[in-house]
Amino acid sequence: MAVFVLDKSGKPLMPCSEKRARLLLVRRRARVHRVMPFTIRLVDRGQANSVLQPVRLKLDPGSKGTGVAITREVKAGGDETARDVAVLSLAELIHRGAQISLSLTARRAMRRGRRGRKTRYRAARFNNRRKPVGWLAPSLQHRVQTTMAWVRRFRALAPITAVSTELVRFDMQALQNPEISGVEYQQGELAGYEIREYLLEKWGRQCAYCDARDTPLEMEHIDARANGGSNRVSNLTLACVPCNRKKDARPLSDFLRKDPERLRRILAKAKTPLRDAAAVNSTRWALYNALKTTGLSVETGSGARTKFNRRRFDLPKTHALDAACVGVIDSVSGWQKPTLAMKCSGRGAYQRTRLTASGFPRGYLMRSKRAFGFQTGDMVRAVVPSGKKAGRHIGRVAIRATGSFNIQTAEGVVQGVSHRYCKIMQRGDGYGYSLVAQSTKESGHRGDASRRALSLTGLKADVSRAN
């Protein structure tokens, strides 16, 4: 995984390898600037004495997560028109839009209850709140704002000159007939393609009757046409060839009479809309317009081209690698890197009282968010000399007023570590960080990837002791 590099004045330089970063730290030519994403700052070089290359930031927006890839264009074979990209860093931003939506729903219920009780101190709400043009729900606006926040952060860590983002799927009908509109979309190639892609996303690319994967799937009518079933999307599912032939025109209740749980699940899922796709469709243009305000060159790509590039280069299906495949590219190299997962965890809550399902208090939190100079979410390093917790622990801390902290490490949670053994490595910024390997064949499991990438962080203490 590439290490971000800053010059002595804090301006971004070209990222370097882990080996070079380790040598710079050991030789005291650099200092640790940030742990996640790992960044070093040179002490003897400015940006004027360095050579910068074009670096592109690529985004693959999603509902639950956004893939991020930082790439560098490689001129291979002297062909100036070729777009060969080398992956420098991979990341995945995990949103918390669902949590925001649930919190707003709970708050709305509480406010409605207070108004229903005719509480004197709360004035009635009148119909005087108009939504501005381009308004998005808070759970959707969160996706745009967190993505733009990390675009600004990566611009401060790397010399990014351009941005690529996935915007829309290709529209085969519009390509062939630019004047197409209205009911004409119900005919031809577009309708079939969209329905198939919709069903693949909705049913998880597996047979609804036997959960078979990696096999040819067919569109299946839940209520057969022979029995009066319609072609509506809510009446369609996916089935493998054997299951499709076995069910034939039988009613679903008769076909799954021995598996009532699967019958209930299929009927419930058939009526459920694809909310993730709706969320992406609602935010894609807002994100695109926000990216244009950065002043960088913004390239857009379609989902079909991203899928084509990923299959052509035989890459695993991840958000980060999908981001690397956005746009027009001729080859991809250096993608065998762990992905930095950045989970939106927030900076705490104003509510200091825990409530039961009925709304009664069940517990109280600390009045202060800090204890002994630490705050929940800080990344710490704890060196415990003896006892059951003896050893070196690096991870995210959860504080207590007693001074006995919990540390979330790559191997698990270490409970009951005294604050006296903890040392701040990076202040909490509202995100939880972890490193995920591309596949189990590369590093064995997630903990190995985390330990390998966090091995550089230990040099901070070594350099401090040497100084």
Q: Which of 142, 45, 16, 1 is nearest to 454 (CA)?
A: 1
Query: Which tokens belong to 143?
Result: 């996706």
pLDDT at 274 over 90: no
> 115 or 199: whose pLDDT is higher?
199
Global pTM value: 0.75
pLDDT of residue 456: 41
Give pLDDT tens digits for 290-304.
999 999 999 998 887
pLDDT at 365 over 90: no
Give pLDDT tens digits for 176-195.
455 555 555 455 544 555 57
Residue 45: pLDDT band (50, 70, 90) is confident
Supply the DSSP string of 219-263, one letter for each residue: EEESS-GGGT----GGGEEEEEHHHHHHHTT--HHHHTTT-HHHH
Of 258-267, 301-310, 413-422, minimum mean pLDDT range: 301-310
Mean pLDDT of the chain: 82
- Contact indicator for 306, 315 with CB cutoff of 8 Å: no
Q: What is the mean pLDDT of residues 53-59?
A: 93
Residue 100 CB neighbours (<10 A): 19
Q: Give residues with Cβ within 8 angstroms of 127, minimum separation 6.
A: none
Of 145-154, 289-298, 349-358, 432-441, minimum mean pLDDT range: 432-441
- Contact indicator for 10, 163 with CB cutoff of 8 Å: no
pLDDT of residue 123: 63
Q: What is the mean pLDDT of residues 131-153?
A: 91
pLDDT at 441 over 50: no
Q: What is the mean pLDDT of residues 383-403?
A: 92
pLDDT of residue 462: 44
Q: What is the mean pLDDT of residues 351-366?
A: 84
Q: What is the mean pLDDT of residues 273-292?
A: 81
pLDDT of residue 449: 39
Tell me the domain boundaries of the chain: 57-93+137-174+184-337, 353-466
Sign of CA dihedral 132, 138, 143, 147: positive
pLDDT of residue 372: 93
- Extract long-range pairs of 427-430: CB within 8 Å, 24+ residues apart: 427/375, 427/378, 427/379, 428/347, 428/375, 428/376, 428/377, 428/378, 428/379, 428/396, 429/377, 430/344, 430/345, 430/346, 430/347, 430/377
3-state DSSP assignment of residue 144 = helix
Residue 118: pLDDT band (50, 70, 90) is low
Percent of the chain with pLDDT over 70: 83
Residue 172: pLDDT band (50, 70, 90) is very low
pLDDT of residue 132: 83
